[in-house]
């Protein structure tokens, strides 16, 4: 297998993950509104549970930044499955949260994330195929 070069879209995703960390960490640390709520599986958790689980979100984005920056071949597949998970979580959150917008908007958000996941799987498969040649 030849060396895997990082394509432009992997650079973009790595930068997105780094930017998300640059916003999310200070927000979770210094703003009570952000610090007091996290969403897992589409359900809101609050207070101490939110504060204790926020670093898990940071770890996900940090891993994504590292994986895409270093062009890990598994990164697009992992990100695709995460996008599918986030899409389902948007439906659950939209229906269960008092801040949600209901099933139609949650479904639309899920479709957007599913499209991103499918594109990620497609791009990842092309990346791996190119690395084999």
Domains of the chain by residue range = 8-132
Look at residue 8 and tell me whether its pLDDT is greater than 50: yes
CA torsion 106-108-112-118 (nearest 10°) is 90
Instruction: Tell me the two tokens of residue 50.
Output: 């939110």
**Percent of the chain whose predicted confidence (pLDDT) is above 90:** 85
DSSP letter for each residue of 41-98: TTEEEEHHHHHHHHHHHHHHHHHHHHHHHTT-TTHHHHHHHHHHHHHHHHHHHHHHST
Q: How many helices (H) and strands (E) does the chain have?
A: 5, 2
**What gap in Å lies between CA 61 and CA 21, rounded to an integer?**
7
Instruction: Tell me the two tokens of residue 47.
Output: 């207070």
Separation of CA 74 from chain center = 15
Residue 3's pLDDT is 59
Q: Sorting pLDDT into bands at 50, 70 and 90, what band is 1?
A: very low
Number of neighbouring beta carbons within 10 Å of residue 104? 9
Q: Is the dihedral of CA 26, 29, 31, 33 positive or negative?
A: positive
Q: Whole-model pTM?
A: 0.89
């Amino acid at each position: 297998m030849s060396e895997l070069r990082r394509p432009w879209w992997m650079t973009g995703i790595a930068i997105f993950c780094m930017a998300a960390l640059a916003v999310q960490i200070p927000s979770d640390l210094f703003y009570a509104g952000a610090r007091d709520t996290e969403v897992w599986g589409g359900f809101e958790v609050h207070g101490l549970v939110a504060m204790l689980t926020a670093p898990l979100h940071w770890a996900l984005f940090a891993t994504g930044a590292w994986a895409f920056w270093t062009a890990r071949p598994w990164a697009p597949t992992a990100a695709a499955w995460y996008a599918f998970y986030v899409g389902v979580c948007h439906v659950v959150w939209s229906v269960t949260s008092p801040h949600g917008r209901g099933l139609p908007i949650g479904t639309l958000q899920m479709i957007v994330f599913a499209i991103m996941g499918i594109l990620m799987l497609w791009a990842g498969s092309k990346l791996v195929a190119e690395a084999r040649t």
